[in-house]
Amino acid sequence: MANPLVVLLMGSDSDLPTVKEACAVLQDFGVDFEAHVLSAHRTPDDLTAFVRRAEQSGVRVFIAAAGGAAHLAGVVAAHTTRPVIGIPIQTSALGGLDSLLSTVQMPGGVPVATMAIGAGGARNAGLFAVQILALADPSLAVKLQEYRAKQVEQVRQNDKKIQTGLANG
Ligand code: RP5
């Protein structure tokens, strides 16, 4: 492992399309990260060893995405005191409610910052990681301000488009 600030873990390669949303945010902000498939259930020993190594190599934030009986974020949190952000993957069986509840309902003492189900949650996971890093990195804090300002501008433009569309019937 090089020295990434953020590590993204996913329980299966089938989670990758969602996880890519978080990767895109980290890339946009110029944050070094690594992404790996590691499963709390299928590769428990590899997961534990990885988290220990990652902590030693200086990883500041973990992001963990999993679906169904989604214990990945919780198990990562059990092995580190660094912040862990959970992404509940949308599932075909239960729409992701299974993933959400099994990620968010951590016992007191071992927190996981759980995002919303699916792509929006994954984007927010990336942003939340940037927000944590920005506490000690003023240049990232500036980029976050710019990101928000762009978002405001985008919504205002969308509103204008809608107003024009309504006025023209
Ligand atoms: C979870 O089981 C993974 O995070 C994935 O969302 C779900 C299904 O995995 P696959 O059967 O697609 O590999 O551990």
| DSSP-derived pairing of the beta strands 61-66 and 84-88 | parallel
Q: Which residues, including other chains, have CB under 8 Å from residue 45's CB and lie 6 or more apart?
A: none
- The model's pTM: 0.96
Element (H or E) spanning 35, and its range? strand 33-37
What pLDDT was estimated at residue 148? 98
What is the atom index within ligand 1 of the atom nearest the CA of 89? 6
What is the atom index within ligand 1 of the atom nearest the CA of 11? 4
Identify the residue whose C-alpha is closest to ligand 1 atom 9.
12
Q: What is the pLDDT of residues 45-55, one digit of tens each?
A: 999 999 999 99
Ligand 1 centroid to Cα of residue 117, in Å, is 15
Task: Report helix angle 138-167 to 119-134, nearest 10.
Answer: 140
Phi then psi dihedrals of residue 120, to 5 deg? -60, -40
Q: What is the pLDDT of residues 104-145, one digit of tens each?
A: 999 999 999 999 999 999 999 999 999 999 999 999 999 999
Identify the residue whose C-alpha is closest to ligand 1 atom 2.
67
